[in-house]
Structure 1
Amino acid sequence: MTRNVVVLGAGTAGTMVANKLRRKLDDTWAITVVDRDDTHPYQPGFLFVPFGGPTDELVRSRHAFVHDGVDLVLEAVERVDAAAQEVVLLDGRLLPYDYLVIASGTSPRPDQTPGMLGPQWRQSIFDFYTLDGAKALAEALHGFRGGRLVVHITDMPIKCPVAPLEFTFLADAWLREHGLRSATDLVFVTPLDGAFTKPIAAEQLGSMLVDRGVTVEPDFLVEHIEDKTLVSYDGREVPFDLLVTIPLNMGADFVTRSGLGDDLGFVPVDKHTLQSIADPRIFAVGDASDIPTSKAGSVAHFSADILVDNLVELAAGRPMTNSFDGHANCFVESGDHKALLLDFNYETQPLTGMYPAPYVGPMSLLKESRANHLGKLAFRWVYWNVLLPGRPLPMASAMSMVGKHTPVPTS
C-alpha cells in the first residue's frame, strides 16, 4: 500500500526536503511537492541587482531541481483539510497525505501598510526582495542625484534579516563611488532598538553604521506613509526622497485559511522537532514556520536535515530523536568588496572565530574580510549545485563552539 508525503512549496526548504526524503524513504512512499509556478529564484542575488549586479542565473525552472521519483505539481493551494488529511488545490484536485510538510515561505506584503502600495510605489518607494522590485530600484538609483535615501524595515520577522543592513552598506559604498555620498542623507529606520536582534552583533553592526555616517531611527513602527513621509504609531515622521522598504512579511494565505497559522500566517511548531503544535502529521520548515531564529537559507538547510530524519523515524513508528538548535549563519555585505559572517543559534549569539573550519576558516566570524565577500559570491554555485539537489555539505547541522571566542564582559 502506497503512503504519501506532500510538501507544500518548492522553494529552498521544500526542494531540499523533497529530495532528501526521496533518498531516505523506500518505494512504498510517494512524494509530491506543490508550487504555484515553475520559477525558482535565487533570492540572495536580488541584493546586488540595484547596484548593477547581474540578473542572469537568478531564476531557473523548479523542475530542474526536483529528483526523479518526486512528483512536482504546479498549482496554487486553496487550503489544507487536516481532519481529512488532504490538500485542496485551487483547481479542485485533492492530494491525500500521511505526512505533510509546509514549506511555503514568506512574502513581502506592501498592501498591509496604508500608503505604501499607492501612486509612489516603484516611483519613490521601492523594494528589493523581488526581482522586479530590484530591477526597478536599479533604474531609480541610476537617476538618483542626491537627497534623503531611507532604508526601512516595516516589522519583524523578515526573510534574510541582515539584508536591509547589507543594502545600507552597499548604498553607502555605491554613493561614494559615484560622488553622491556628501549629497545624500542616508537613514536606516528599524522597529528594533538597534541594528540587529542579537546584542553582540547589533553593537558591531551599529558601530559600522555610525562609522559610515548613517542616521539610525530605532523603535520605529510605521503606521502609514503619506506625502513621501514615514509616519510611526507614536507620531514620529521620517521624510524621504527615495524609500527602500522591506514591507511586512507574511506566510502563505492558505496557511491562514487552513487554521494552521499564527497572526502573520506562520506555522507554530516545536522549535526543536519542527512538528506542528496543532497536528503531529504536519511539519513546517524554512520561512513558513514560527521558529525563533532568522528566516534565512542557512536555517532552511540546517533544519531540513533534522526534519527529514524526524519524519522518517515517525513514519517508521519510532520516537523522533533529532533536535534542531536554531543554527543560522549569514553573510553581511559591508561594501568595498568585503563582508562579515555571523554564526549563531537559539542559545548562542554571533561570536568571533573562523568558519567553516575552526581556527582555519578561511572565513572570519563577526569581522569584515574579502574572503567573506568571495564566500557570499561563491554560494550561488553551491546553492544551485549542492543545496537544492539535497547533496551533503561537509558541515554539521548543529552549531559548533569550537574555535569561537566569547567576549569578556567589560563590567
Structure 2
Amino acid sequence: MKTLVILGGGTAGTMIANKLRHRLPRRDWSITVVDRDDVHHYQPGYLFVPFGDYTRDQVVRSRHAFLPDGVDFVIGAVDLVDTEADVVRLEDGRTLPYDQLVIASGTTPRPDQTPGLLGSEWRRSIFDFYTLEGAEALAKALAAFDGGRLVVHITETPIKCPVAPLEFTFLAEAWLRKHGLRDRVELVYVTPLDGAFTKPVASAHLGGMLEERKVHVETDFMVEHVDPERKVLVSYDDREIPFDLLVTVPLNMGADFVARSGLGDELNYVPVDNHTLLSKSHDNIFAVGDASDIPASKAGSVAHFAVEIFVDNFLQHIAGQSMTGSFDGHANCFVESGDDKALLIDFNYDTEPLPGKYPLPVIGPMDLLKETRTNHLGKLAFRWIYWNVLLPGRPVPLPAHMSMAGKHPKED
C-alpha cells in the first residue's frame, strides 16, 4: 500500500483529503492529514469579529469533523521533511513515511519579524486581525476608541487575502460613522505598494473609494521598525507615520519546517510549477494553497480553484502520466465596502480584475468592481458554503479557470 501524507488541515489540505479519498482506491492508498491541533478556523470571518458581527463560535470548528472516513488525522507539529528518506519527522519524535507528499501548511502572520511591533504597545494600541485572538482584542480596543489617528498598515506582500486590509478600512470607516465618531478620527491607509491594490484597474477603483471616504493613503511605505514609545511607524527612507490606534498586517511567512527541510524560499514558501503545483525540486512533493510560491492571491478561492485542477493532475502523476491540467491563478474575492455593500473581483495570472457581471454574462447576479448589497449577501453566504460545501469537497458550480464572459475591458 502507498501513502499520501498531507501537511496541513486547513482549506486546501481538507479539500484534497476529501476529494482524493473518493478517487484513490482504499486497498492501494492510505491518506494521512497532519496538523498541530484540532481547531479549524474560518479565516475570512476574522474581518467581522472586531465589529461585533461574528463570534468565536461562528469561525471555529473541529478539523477532524470535516475529514472523511478512511483518512487518518495526526495531531502533531512537523519538525522537518526528510526528502532523502521520504519521511515526515514530528517534533515529538514520531515519523510518517510517505510516497507522495502535499504541503498545505498555509501562511501565518509573523509580527516578530518587524522590530518594535511586539513591544510594549502590542495589543494595547497595536493590533492585528489576521489571528482570532488579535481580532477579539481589536474588538475591545475599538469599543473603547473615542477618537484620534487610526492607521491601517500592511508590512509587506504577499499576505493572506490581499483585499482584507482594504475591507477593514472600509468597514472601520462605516463603523465610525455609525457610532458618531468619524469626524473625530483621521483614517490613514499605509501600504508598501504604489497604489491601493496590485492591479491597475482595481487599484484605481479601490483608491477612488478610499479618497471618497477621506482616507489618506501612504504608498511605497516599507516599514523598518515601530517605535512603540512614540507610537510611530518608521520606514527605511526615514518617513514617520504616527498613530493612536494601529491595525497592522504583519509580515506573512510559510511554516518554519519548510525552511528547516530546505524546501522553501526566503519567506518559507515552496517553489512549485505555477500550473501543476509540483515542487521544482522533488517529483513526489506538491504544495497547494498558501504554502506555495505561485504569483496568485493567498486566498481561499485560489485554494479552491487550484485543488480542482490539482486532483486530476495528481491522479495522472501517480499513474506515470503527464499532467494535463493547468491552473491559471484564478482568484475570486468579495471586498466588503461598508454599509452592507461589497464589490466582487475576479482575476488570474494574466487578467486583472475588470468590471462586468459574474458568474453569468448580463444576468450576473453579482456585479464586478461595483458596490452592491447582493455582493455583500454573497460574502455572508460564503461562510455556510465554506463549512457545508467547500471543505467537504462537494462540487461547486463555478469553473476552476477564469472566464472572460461578462467582463468588460473598460468600465462603462
> Structure 1, residues 7-59: CA drift from partner, whole Å, max 9, x if none?
00000010001111111111110010100000001111110111111212210
State the match for 1:400 in structure 2: 403
Take 2:360 and 2:391, find their aligned partners in 1: how far apart are those partners? 23
> Structure 1, residues 186-227: CA drift from partner, whole Å, max 9, x if none?
000000000000110000000000000000000000000012
Say if 2:383 is the partner of 1:374.
Answer: no
Instruction: For 1:1-400, list aligned pairs within 5 A.
Output: 2-27=1-26, 28-55=28-55, 56-226=57-227, 227-400=230-403
Take 1:392 and 1:368, find their aligned partners in 2: how far apart are those partners? 28
* Shift in Å, 1:359: 2.0
Partner-residue secondary structure (3-state), 2:220: coil
> Structure 1, residues 80-120: CA drift from partner, whole Å, max 9, x if none?
01111111111111111111000000000000000001110
Q: How many residues align?
A: 408
> Structure 1, residues 45-75: CA drift from partner, whole Å, max 9, x if none?
1101111112122100001100111111010
Structure 2 counterpart of 1:65, one-letter code: F
Take 2:7 and 2:360, find their aligned partners in 1: how far apart are those partners? 35
Partner-residue secondary structure (3-state), 1:57: helix
Query: Unaligned stretches of 5+ in structure 2?
Result: none
Take 1:386 and 1:354, find their aligned partners in 2: how far apart are those partners? 23
User: After TM superposition, where is structure 1 displaced by more than 4 Å over at least 4 residues in a row?
Assistant: none
Take 2:324 and 2:212, find their aligned partners in 1: how far apart are those partners? 47
Structure 1 counterpart of 2:330, one-letter code: H
Out of 353-362 and 202-211, give the one that drifted further: 353-362
* Shift in Å, 1:314: 0.7
Partner-residue secondary structure (3-state), 1:24: coil
Partner-residue secondary structure (3-state), 1:320: coil
* Shift in Å, 1:353: 1.4
Take 1:235 and 1:188, find their aligned partners in 2: how far apart are those partners? 18
Question: Is this contact kept in 1: 2:355–2:411, CA < 8 A?
Answer: no
Question: Is this contact kept in 1: 2:106–2:291, CA < 8 A?
Answer: yes
Take 1:330 and 1:356, find their aligned partners in 2: how far apart are those partners? 13
Task: Compute the TM-score of the two structures, normalised by the length of structure 1.
Answer: 0.98
Take 1:360 and 1:4, find their aligned partners in 2: how far apart are those partners? 46
Question: Is this contact kept in 1: 2:273–2:280, CA < 8 A?
Answer: yes
Structure 1 counterpart of 2:244, one-letter code: D
* Shift in Å, 1:305: 1.3
Take 2:266 and 2:312, find their aligned partners in 1: how far apart are those partners? 29
Question: Is this contact kept in 1: 2:360–2:405, CA < 8 A?
Answer: no
Query: Unaligned stretches of 5+ in structure 1?
Result: none
Take 1:359 and 1:96, find their aligned partners in 2: how far apart are those partners? 52
* Shift in Å, 1:408: 7.6
Take 2:66 and 2:364, find their aligned partners in 1: how far apart are those partners? 30
Partner-residue secondary structure (3-state), 1:299: helix
Question: Is this contact kept in 1: 2:301–2:333, CA < 8 A?
Answer: yes
* Shift in Å, 1:394: 0.6
What RMSD, in angstroms, separates the aligned Cα atoms of the two structures?
0.9
Partner-residue secondary structure (3-state), 2:379: helix
Take 1:306 and 1:75, find their aligned partners in 2: how far apart are those partners? 29
Structure 2 counterpart of 1:13, one-letter code: A
Take 1:138 and 1:238, find their aligned partners in 2: how far apart are those partners? 23
